[in-house]
Structure 1
Amino acid sequence: MPLGLMAVALVFLGLFTVGAGVGAATGFDLRDIFRGPDKPPPRDFPVLDPSRPQRLSIPAIKVEAPILMVGLARDGSVAVPPLNRHNEAGWFREGPTPGQFGPALIVGHADTRTGPSVFHRLHELRPGQRIEVLREDDETAVFQVNSVERYGKEKLPVQRVYGDYSRPSLRLVTCGGTWLGGTRGYSDNVVVFASLIGTKRR
C-alpha cells in the first residue's frame, strides 16, 4: 500500500470510541483524499451542485435525523457528533456534499453508554434500499444502497471507501463488531456504499 494511503488508513483506525473522533492523528491531511479530480467526467446520471445537507432519511431502518457539520478533531481525525447530539448524523464538511461528484461522508454513533444512537441499525441495510438526504437548496438527493460492508479497523480499503470519484455517491460510516473496551471502542467499521439515482423537490 502506498505510504499516503497507509497514513489515511491509520486516520480511520479508531472509528469509534465513545465520544471520540474517527481515528488518530498521523500528520496526513485527510482533506487531500476528498479533493477529487479537477474536472469530473461526463456521466449519464444526475450530478448536483454543492449544497449543505440538512436531514437524513433511511426508511428501512427508521432513521429520520438532522445532519450537522463535522470537521477534523484536534488529533487530525474526522470528528463525530457530540454525545449530547448522538441521535444526529455528521456530514464531513471537507468532502463533497451529497449529490456532488465523489463520496459524501456521513458519520454517526451506533450507541453510547446510555443506549442506541442514530446508526444503531446501519448494519441491517440491504442492497436496493433507499437513502434520502434533504439539502439546503430544497433538493433531496436520492441514493440506492449498493452494499453494506464491515472491515477490521486495520483493513479499511481507503481508496475504495473514500477515493471513488467515478460518480456521485454516499458513504455512511459507524462502528460495529466486538466491543474492545476502554478507548479502543469497537473492532470494526460498518460502511454503507450508496449511489445517487435521482432527485426530488421538497
Structure 2
Amino acid sequence: MVTDAPPTTPEVRRAGARERTWTMPVAVLLVLAGIFATGAGLGRAASGPWDRLAAAGRDAGTATTGESSRPVSLRIDAIGVTAAVHPVGLAPDGSIAVPALERHRETGWYDRGPSPGQDGPAIIVGHSDTRDGPSVFFDLRQVRPGARIEVTRADRSVVAFRVDSVERFDKQQLPADRVYGDYRRPGLRLITCGGRWVGGSIGYADNIVVFASLADAREP
C-alpha cells in the first residue's frame, strides 16, 4: 500500500527525511470522484450510498452515544495525528466535498450521514498531500489493524474505534456495499487518496480506506 509520488517537475520541494517530491500545480488533492461521482455508478440514486448514509444519520435511534452530535476532533496516536474535524456536504458535481486547501491539515466529516457513534458508517475524509508537503492523512496507509482512533464530538463525548483493516481500492471499483452498507452497528471510515499518480481530474488512481469498528464510548 505504498503511495506513488507524482511525476517530478522542475519546481519541487523536499519533504524532510522522506525525500518526497511534490509537483506543481496544486493537484495532489484528495480526489474521490471514482468513489462518489454519479458517473461511477455509485451516486445519488434512491438506493445509492448517499441516501443510505443520510437515512442512517436521521434514523439512528440506537446510537451508542445517544443523540447525533457532530465530531470536532480526531486522534490517531499510531501515526501522530490530532486534527480538527469540520462538516462537509456535497460538491456541485455530486461528490463529497473536501476540506479547503488552507485547511488541508484538518479533516471533513460527511454531515449527511451518521455521526461517529451512531449506527452506520461515519465518513471522515482528508487530504493526503499538497504542493507544500504532507497533509493530515499522508500516513494513513501505515495504520495497522488494532490501532485506536478517538473522535471527540461537540457534546464532549469521546467515541473510540478499533481499526479492522486498511485497504486500497481503484476509484472505479470501490465496493460500495462494503464501505457504506453496514448499518447494524456504529462504524467509521477514513478515506484519502493513494496509489499511482495519473494526474488530470483524477489525481491518484486509488483511495485508501480505513475500516474501523466501535471500541468504546465515554459520555461527557
Query: Do they fold alike, i.e. is TM over 0.5?
Result: yes
- The runs of at least 4 aligned residues of structure 1 exceeding 2 Å deviation read 17-22, 24-31, 36-42, 45-49
1:110 matches 2:124: no
| Structure 1 letter corresponding to 2:44 | F
> Which one has a larger percent strand, Structure 1 or Structure 2?
1
- Residues 118, 39 of structure 1: alpha-carbon distance in 2 compared, 3 angstrom cutoff: closer
Aligned residue in 2 for 1:33: 52
Aligned residue in 2 for 1:82: 100
- Residues 197, 180 of structure 1: alpha-carbon distance in 2 compared, 3 angstrom cutoff: same
1:152 matches 2:162: no
Instruction: Return 109-118 or 19-28, whichever deviates more.
Output: 19-28
| Structure 2 letter corresponding to 1:31 | W
Deviation string for 1:55-74 (max 9, x for gaps)?
00000000000001100001
Aligned residue in 1 for 2:78: 60
Whichever of the two has the greater Rg, that structure is 2
- The aligned length equals 184
1:91 matches 2:91: no
Distance, in Å, in 2 between the alignment partners of 1:18 and 1:74 is 20
1:133 equivalent among 134, 142, 151: 151
RMSD over aligned Cα, in angstroms? 2.3
1:175 matches 2:193: yes
Shift of 1:40: 6.3
Shift of 1:114: 1.3
Q: Is the 8 A contact 2:87 2:109 kept in 1?
A: yes
Any gaps of 5 or more consecutive residues in structure 2? 1-26
Q: Is the 8 A contact 2:121 2:186 kept in 1?
A: yes
SS of aligned partner of 1:190: strand
SS of aligned partner of 1:196: strand
Aligned residue in 2 for 1:6: none
